[in-house]
Structures are given as C-alpha cells and as structure tokens.
Amino acid sequence: MKNMHDILVAMSVMQHGDWEGIYQMLKDKIPVSEEEIRDAYATLRCSTMVLTDDAYPDAFKEVYRPPLCLFYRGDISLLDSRKILGVVGARQASPYTLDTISHLVRDTLTALPDAVICSGMARGVDATAMRQAVAQDRPVIAVLGSGLENPYPESSRDIYDYCASGKGLVISEYPGKIEPRREHFPFRNRLIATLSHTLLAGQVGVKSGTSTTIRCALECGRNIMLVPQRIEESEMTNELARDGAELVCSADDIVRSFR
C-alpha cells in the first residue's frame, strides 16, 4: 500500500532531487504507481527521510523550501544534536585561516564533548574543520550538493567514508549519482545554516557560498562567528563584524555561544 513516505521518495528519484520538480508533482497531484515506487527504491543504497515523517527534524521545518526528501547514510540521530557547530569558508583559504580554523575546532571539541561539526566537504575551510573532528574521532555531519552516492569533491572521500560509516552522518537532497551542479550548492547551504546552532566562518567572499550560508543563518537566528581577517584579504568578514557578527578570539567564544 502506498504511503506519503514512499510517494515522496519516488518523486524525488524521478525528479533527480529537484525541489521544484517534486513540488510541482505534488501540486498537480500527479499519481505515482506501485511500480514507480519499486523502481525508485531499487536504485537506492541508502536510508530515506521525508517531510511527513515523525522523526523529521524541526530545524528543517523552519528553512526556506524545507527538504521534501533526504537521502542519508550514517547516524541520523545527529540531526537532533543540541550543539552543532557549522563551519564554512573559502576553498582557497589562506594558511592563516586554515590553521586558525583547525585550532578553533580542536579546542571547541575538547571543551564540548557533545559538540558536532557540520559542513559541506568542500576543499579549504570545510575539509579542514571536518578532518580535525575526524582526527578526534568525533561526530561529523556532511551535507552534499551532489547525489548521496557521488561525494564531491573526490578529495574529501575520506570524510565521506567516515560519516557514512556511522561515526557521523552524510545527507543529501539528491539521490544516487546525481552530478554536482552550481545551483545545488547555495540551495544545500541553507541546510548547513539551519542545522547549526553556531556558524563559524573563515575568509568570507562577497559573492561566495559562505556569504549565502551566513545570510541563511542570520534569517534563522543563529549565532555567527568570524575568523578575523586583514581588510585587504576579506572585506566581507569585516563588514559582517561591523553589522553585528562576532569576531572569534578563542574557542572560549564559541563555547559561550552554546550556553
């Protein structure tokens, strides 16, 4: 017998995870057959969660266009963690930024045994923060902008494998081997923003994915913390600080933000 969970999973697979396509099918009341449901599940090698599930996280209900279907591997209970530190920043970050992020994450995890790191596996700041958590054998949430079975970038495969093993969690709105597309990443970033109780950003570009994540986090009322930068290296960081985001002096600042 068909239920809404199976219908949304099938629609998501049929629409390759495209939110607009799934929504249009729902709006137009397009029927989904038992065969289409079976075919959809036959393509999956993961677990699924949909908007109508009782276990669906309250945080995602707050976000713009809440995910209709999520594909995941690993420990889904991490979505309910009360101390999630989102970490985002430039892919081509300076050595100073990467070193600072690494030390801040290390010291925060030492001070908060129940903290969880959440990021997007991108090169630079994301991968640095996530690998620091992995090195401490701590839980990590990876949010993908590609299909769940197509981790991107390939250079972060070690992070993906760690999360998928159950020591962390990897989630995506895109099923199977869907290729990463430019428009997927700003849309993906809203999930990182809303999951994070505090968002730590390093080296923010004016028209970057990091800046869109920060905007989403501000709309959700999250704490925004910034790695200080030289004026000529990251004008956006200093503008955000002027507008009320907090500059981080030590991990103690991050720890306090969770209280």
Proportion of the chain above pLDDT 90, given as a percent: 78
Say what the pLDDT of residue 231 is: 66
Say what the pLDDT of residue 62 is: 82
Say what the pLDDT of residue 220 is: 85
Q: Which residue has the tokens 């999630």?
A: 84
With a cut of 80, say whether residue 207 has pLDDT above it.
no
For residue 153, give both structure tokens: 């970038």
For residue 242, give both structure tokens: 């002027």
In this structure, the dihedral spanned by the alpha carbons of residues 200, 89, 74 and 183, taken in order and rounded to 10 degrees, is 130
For residue 178, give both structure tokens: 């869907």
Please, where in the chain does CATH 3.40.50.450 lie? Answer: 77-257
Residue of higher predicted confidence among 206 and 46: 46
pLDDT digits (tens, 9 = 90+) for 226-250: 998 776 666 677 777 776 678 899 9
For residue 9, give both structure tokens: 């999973």
Please give the Cα distance from 26 to 150 (Å, whole number): 27
Q: Any idea which of 1-5, 23-27, 43-47, 230-234 has the lowest mean pLDDT?
A: 230-234
Say what the pLDDT of residue 26 is: 97
Please give the Cα distance from 17 to 15 (Å, whole number): 5
Characterize the bridge pairing of strands 84-89 and 198-202: parallel
Handedness of CA 130, 96, 209, 147 (dihedral sign): negative
Residue of higher predicted confidence among 132 and 91: 132
Fold of 77-257: Rossmann fold (3.40.50)
Mean pLDDT on 115-126: 96
Please give the Cα distance from 98 to 238 (Å, whole number): 18
- Would you say 129 and 120 are in contact if contact means Cβ atoms under 8 Å apart? no
Please give the Cα distance from 88 to 255 (Å, whole number): 17
Task: Give burial (CB, 10 Å; 0-12/13-18/19+) of 106.
Answer: middle
